[in-house]
Amino acid sequence: MRRGIAALFAALLVVFVAGCGSDDASAASGETVTVSGKYGDVEVPAGAERVLPLSPQDADMVIAAGLVPLALPADSSTLVATDGLGAWPWQVEALEERGYTVVPPDPEGGSEALLSTGENEVPVMLFVGEAMAYLEQISALRPDVIVATGQWNLDEQAYQRLSEIAPVVHFDEQANVEPWQNSTLKIGKALGREDEARESVEAAEADLAEVRASHPEYEGVQYNAVIGDLAGELYILSGEDRGIGMFMKDIGFTLSDWAQTVPTDADGRGKVSYELVGNLDTDIAVVISPAGDIEYMRGNEQWANLSVVQRGAIVSIARNSGVPNALGFPSPISLPWGADRVVDALSTAVSRAQ
C-alpha cells in the first residue's frame, strides 16, 4: 500500500510541476468548463489555479487532482486533533511530496496572515463556526474557483454569496452523500485535470483492492460500528454507502443485519437508545471515541455482556488519531493512509470472531 501511495504522490508531483502557471492564457481567454451542481451548473474558467476548498475533504481532492490549494480549511476540532497545525497527516505528507510546508493558523486570524505566506507554504484557514462567516477573508484570497462538495452548511443563500466571489463547485445532492470518486472526478473536471483525478481515484481503489486481496479473512465478517455518544443516545453506523461504511464494504466486511434496519441520516448514521445496546452483538465491533478508550461504553452492562466484547473482538479508534476522518470523509489521499493504520487491528479482531 505504501508503494501505491508513493507512486500516486510521484505522479501528482509531475502533474503539478508540469501544469503550474501553464494555463494563464486559457484562463484569460474566457474559455470555461461546466460542471453540474444542486444550485445550478457552474462555469469555471479554464486553467483555474487559485483554488480554495471549503472542507478538508475538498482540499484532499484538489491535491489529488494535482493542484496545491490556496489554503487548507480547518475547524477548532481539527486544530485540537492535530496539535494546533490544523492539517491532517495525509495532507501534510502529500504537500511535502511536492516541496510544500503547512503553516498553522495565525491566532489573530484575518486574511493578511494567509496572504503573507511564502512561495512554498500552504496556510491553514481556521473556520471557528460556519465558513460563511469568513466571506471577507475568502474574498481577499482572490480565488479563481471555490470548491465545496463537502461543505455541510452550503445552502442556496450561502452559494449565491460565495458565487459573487468566484464560481463554486459543489455537490449535486448533499455534502458528503455522493461517492468520493464522483466528487473527485467532478473537481478534476472543473480544474481541467480530469485525467489526473481519475488516476488518483484508480490508485486509491487499487490500494483498497490490495487490502481485500491480502486479507481474505475479512470476507463476509459482520460488524457494527459505534460512532459516538450524544445526550444518552448512541450514534451507530447504519448504512454501508456512507463514510466508513463504504471503506468496510470495499475491503470485504458486511454491516450487521440489525444495524441496517435502524433509520439512517444523510451521513449513514443511526441514533439508538442505550437500551438497545444488546442488539449490537456481532462478529466484530468498531468503536470510535475521543481518545480511543471507549469509556462511554464500559459502564453499560449490556455492552459488557455482549459476546463480541467478551471475546475482545473490538477495534477501538481514537477520534483524535485522524483515522475516523480519513475513512469517514474519504478521498484518494486519505483512504490509503487510514487503511494502513487500521488493518492490523481489524485482523486481530477477526481472529477473535470465532
Task: Dump the DSSP string for 68-125.
Answer: --S-EEE-HHHHHHTTT--S-HHHHHHHHHTT-EEEPPPTT-SHHHHHT--TTEEEEE
- pLDDT for the residue numbered 37: 96
**Rounded Cα–Cα distance for residues 53 and 72 (Å):** 7
- pLDDT for the residue numbered 252: 97
Provide the CATH topology of domain 8-200. Answer: Rossmann fold (3.40.50)
231: left (phi over 0), alpha (psi -120 to 50) or beta: left
Provide the CATH topology of domain 215-351. Answer: Rossmann fold (3.40.50)
* For the chain, domain boundaries: 8-200, 215-351
Distances (CA, A) of 16 to 63, 267, 342: 9, 33, 30
DSSP state of 260: G
Mean pLDDT by 10 residues, the chain (354 residues): 40 36 46 95 94 97 97 92 96 97 88 90 90 90 96 91 97 88 97 97 98 97 91 88 91 96 85 92 93 79 94 93 94 97 97 88
C-alpha dihedral sign at 52, 54, 59, 65: negative
> What grid cell was written down for 117?
505566506
**Rounded Cα–Cα distance for residues 104 and 126 (Å):** 9
Contact call for residues 325 and 294 (beta carbons, < 8 A): no
**Rounded Cα–Cα distance for residues 144 and 45 (Å):** 7
**Rounded Cα–Cα distance for residues 156 and 158 (Å):** 5
- pLDDT for the residue numbered 29: 52
Contact call for residues 106 and 56 (beta carbons, < 8 A): no
Model confidence, pTM: 0.89
- pLDDT for the residue numbered 22: 37
- pLDDT for the residue numbered 16: 37
Distances (CA, A) of 327 to 37, 103, 107, 243: 25, 24, 29, 6
Contact call for residues 5 and 26 (beta carbons, < 8 A): no
| Residue 301: Cβ-neighbour burial (10 angstroms; 0-12, 13-18, 19+) | exposed
Same topology for domains 8-200 and 215-351, yes or no? yes
Which helix (H) or strand (E) segment holds residue 21: the answer is none
Range 270-274, long-range pairs (CB < 8 A, 24+ positions): 270/235, 270/236, 270/237, 270/238, 270/239, 271/230, 271/233, 271/234, 271/235, 271/236, 272/233, 272/234, 272/236, 273/232, 273/233, 273/234, 274/232, 274/233, 274/234, 274/300, 274/302
Contact call for residues 26 and 47 (beta carbons, < 8 A): yes
Place of cell 481474505: 216
> What grid cell was written down for 247?
471503506
Contact call for residues 64 and 83 (beta carbons, < 8 A): no
Q: Are strands 269-273 and 284-289 parallel, antiparallel or unpaired?
A: unpaired
- pLDDT for the residue numbered 2: 41
